[in-house]
Structure 1
């Protein structure tokens, strides 16, 4: 080995250590120094591309991998990494082509098999994804990251109990943040998961991420003036084309800048047009993609944030562990699917429908009930509301456009009972391009068949459509049926906006009361059933009176548009009032 190559490899090893500590700028600098010493080493270019991809520099990452492919075109790792970059871009066709090439060139590579599995999973082809992820685990049995991906694939294929078991196995091997959060999410979807079991999993995660005594940040040194302008920070990995961003952007547009100064802390490997719009709406934009949780917390602390709002912490790539460092004076959970269980999370935003006074859900935070929890962004390019598709005597079309992971066996039981109660009715199912997967369609056909519903009564929307075309499908739908225990949110709002009433089953936790929260905001809480029999009866009764159903459809869009769900100025004032009350309490205790 030449002296220069040995030095380059030593620098690459140091870069690996920097990546492990999430010091991505340092890692990139070390790899560039290594490449000056050994510019013909494909592995170094591959390592550089990986770091650039982690940092969200996708164009630079692709150039590095392309350079590596010129030096070593038969090296499977290069194509596998290119597939991951294309996946981050959302270019699924290119991602699959590159990932398949990587898997073919390196048939014994667990990484190649996992990458192809991840690509297939993101395309909604969960059965095929599970096979590839299983192959990755055959090659590398105790690989936690592959187990985490497999748990997601199992959730999508109606194997929730197996998904929970895989999550627990992953957690036993390595008690990582991702493994613990995956378990919480899997339990959230599980119909028979009790309140205590879920809260225990949430609390176990919180205990793992809390810093050791004496190892945290200095206490926030914010000035305890109860009336001064507040610094409010929003923490999210969803500041992009995502339902959370599309809702929160209306708050950002309507914040009273005399009352609040707004910061955004964004983890965004692949920012998009909506990211840039959000950046333009805030006073301070902080990209935390390239730094670890402690560094991000230090940044928030040094910015003097009074109220830190953690958005949807349990889901996606969000980083609620940052809050464990207590970087802000007051910390608030918003748009999350359950309690953070963090002792340093002060409040959880909700409303009376989501958490009535008799709620049995367990949580560590103080509940702050807004007059209405949900605020949705107005939808551009709305197709017109059609007349009732069934008319006065035609067959009724029910529908669910929710994620298939939300369609649990108990919900299928209820849907089948509804179809039996409404003769000649049919059920339309769509979620992105999930039902383009023949295995997914067949699984639902068999599930309904076992419940007495023939295949010809099922309609599958198979294409990933632009939003206006997707919404136009509701012109074929008479009534939407919600999911349980995890209700729809954006999906239900879209149905209601298109004039389609939603029948929901209200449960005992936040995620199973989203439907009743939305309907209450519209004065339609009578469409929320309190038990299984009530759900079937409600859906059947709604279809029995066609005149009433047609009138409801005709007026539903106007009802939505004049409701609190789209009243961003009033909603934002309520939110600011809640922040001010929390701030006053902090000042009193300071």
Structure 2
């Protein structure tokens, strides 16, 4: 390479850095692509290009670019740690851990490297290891908010929401980190000590971070109440994910004569589900990596009438988009609670989750009640329903396949009390492959031991790879136990589909009443308790009645077939009716 070319490469790298600082990621990408053409064997440029691709949520490009960097320079630590991050984000955790460990070997005291390996360890269920690594990182950088945020999340995962709240608060006192503010809100939903006032304060704190987001000029959408409406869905979960499962058949069932369907996909790691979904709507807009302002302008230019933001509080979803008011009406669906945003007009729910006149939540949105909140797809790979294990000579086996973050101290205490009331009973715990990790199993043996339940009464499953294997594991469960104050939803549905009755404790918030909603839709509201004592009583009576367990199991699929939970057409018509009425009242008559 000539001196002139070297100078040009250096200049392009400098321009790329300036572009990143200014938030002009597309320009940075263009500069680096020009640089790498001039210096194709420069590993650092390939690494920088991978980082820019990752910023744009182009994960496949980033993985390839980091791979090229490592082919040229196998010990380039920055490439290992950044590749680990991208692999982590697309849920390729085994590969992510390999590169995270190599990065840490190259920089044993690197805070970024320590945190990267910690994040992987935590996601794989090794929270004790993760906490140790994060504490090492914080010993080097005490006020590093990203590490504090992750450590707080470890405490939340381990059932210590009070400690998590403290650490999120410490993090926010140092720097107003958006993810920490959002995590603080979410933690309140897992905390039995959370009050309406403390939750409202956490939501207000998150909203304050977005006070700078000024809404677009008022839209001029035609106020004809009966015209064909443009409905826009925004989600980062349009892949193999429960939210995608909840909406796929609904998207396909929309009446195209009266509704035109747009999807704004924030999904970075597309899969076969993504491809299927894209073929079931009128317009598919890829928006991963697109700024809020650009996305809002796209939505406005498309003339969307009602924008539905899915699961906005979670993951890479963008609840804050509602603050920009890109559509006349904005609606929240499949989310945990109120957005707190003035720009969010409606919140989809049902009369069981939010009983008229009896709702125990604070919110500013109008409640849009469906006949039944959930539509659930039948699992395609589900095996036949098995007989209850207690009828095959085994002890009564309770079970929960929920995320460990939902297994709060209060949940475990209630489950232990239930087990004490059913001598010899066992508890099977499973969540993906996480309970295959020795550290996680040891932690639960310790937690239950403190509650008087010995290790011989605990069963762990972490070896199921396919959905069919996962569902087959329910054959080993007699009675499902729902966590609280944050109920299961997909896990409850899967248990019920496999014939397993689930006992739930209904709370006062949305997240604590979804179990009741599912059971009510199946004509089984008697399995929902209103007090902890009722929870134990219901579970104990079920355990003492193997005949009822047999009948419930044998008849569950028939219940499901006749319920609104699997009626995609009926569910979609009800949703459309709610949206049409909302449109007429809130826009056409405004």
- Sort the TM-score into its range (normalised by shorter chain): over 0.9
| Paired residues of 1:196 and 1:362 also in contact (CA < 8 A) | no
Moved more, 566-575 or 182-191: 182-191
Identify the residue that residue 123 of structure 1 maps to in structure 2.
Answer: 124
| Paired residues of 2:237 and 2:243 also in contact (CA < 8 A) | yes
Identify the residue that residue 431 of structure 1 maps to in structure 2.
Answer: 431
Give the deviation of 1:5 after TM superposition: 4.6
Give the deviation of 1:450 after TM superposition: 1.3
| Pair 1:256 & 2:255 matched | yes
| Paired residues of 2:125 and 2:439 also in contact (CA < 8 A) | no
| Pair 1:46 & 2:33 matched | no
Identify the residue that residue 487 of structure 2 maps to in structure 1.
Answer: 487
Identify the residue that residue 310 of structure 1 maps to in structure 2.
Answer: 309
| Paired residues of 1:22 and 1:292 also in contact (CA < 8 A) | no
Structure-to-structure mapping, 1:185-584, within 5 angstroms:
185-211=186-212, 215-356=214-355, 357-391=357-391, 394-584=394-584
Give the deviation of 1:255 after TM superposition: 0.5
Give the deviation of 1:586 after TM superposition: 3.1
Change (3 A) 1:21 1:571: farther
CA distance in 2, matches of 1:10, 1:134: 39
Change (3 A) 1:447 1:12: same
- The superposition leaves residues 108-147 of structure 1 with CA deviations (integer Å, 9 ceiling, x where unpaired) of 3222122212222222222222222222223322222222
Identify the residue that residue 99 of structure 2 maps to in structure 1.
Answer: 98
CA distance in 2, matches of 1:70, 1:395: 55
| Paired residues of 2:328 and 2:587 also in contact (CA < 8 A) | no
CA distance in 2, matches of 1:323, 1:21: 24
Q: How many residues align?
A: 588
Moved more, 343-352 or 445-454: 445-454
Change (3 A) 1:143 1:5: farther
- The superposition leaves residues 408-439 of structure 1 with CA deviations (integer Å, 9 ceiling, x where unpaired) of 11111111111011111100000011112222
CA distance in 1, matches of 2:56, 2:325: 25
Give the deviation of 1:2 after TM superposition: 6.1
Matched residue SS, 1:391: helix
Matched residue SS, 2:230: strand
Where do 4+ consecutive residues of structure 1 move more than 6 Å? none
Matched residue SS, 1:294: helix
Change (3 A) 1:386 1:36: closer
Give the deviation of 1:160 after TM superposition: 1.9
Change (3 A) 1:46 1:320: same
Matched residue SS, 1:402: coil
Identify the residue that residue 135 of structure 2 maps to in structure 1.
Answer: 134
Change (3 A) 1:581 1:201: same
| Paired residues of 1:529 and 1:535 also in contact (CA < 8 A) | yes
CA distance in 2, matches of 1:20, 1:290: 16
Identify the residue that residue 58 of structure 2 maps to in structure 1.
Answer: 57
Structure 2, unmatched stretches of 5+, are none
Q: TM-score, normalised by structure 1?
A: 0.96
Change (3 A) 1:13 1:167: farther
Change (3 A) 1:14 1:122: farther
CA distance in 2, matches of 1:2, 1:167: 51
Give the deviation of 1:518 after TM superposition: 0.4
- The superposition leaves residues 221-240 of structure 1 with CA deviations (integer Å, 9 ceiling, x where unpaired) of 21111111000000111011
Change (3 A) 1:291 1:493: same
CA distance in 2, matches of 1:471, 1:34: 51
Matched residue SS, 1:368: strand
CA distance in 2, matches of 1:473, 1:62: 35
CA distance in 1, matches of 2:392, 2:73: 67
CA distance in 2, matches of 1:320, 1:257: 27
Give the deviation of 1:10 after TM superposition: 4.6
| Paired residues of 2:230 and 2:306 also in contact (CA < 8 A) | yes
CA distance in 1, matches of 2:302, 2:273: 24
Change (3 A) 1:32 1:394: closer
Give the deviation of 1:561 after TM superposition: 2.2
Change (3 A) 1:271 1:211: same
| Paired residues of 1:199 and 1:339 also in contact (CA < 8 A) | no
Matched residue SS, 1:390: helix
| Paired residues of 1:521 and 1:564 also in contact (CA < 8 A) | yes
| Paired residues of 1:127 and 1:157 also in contact (CA < 8 A) | no
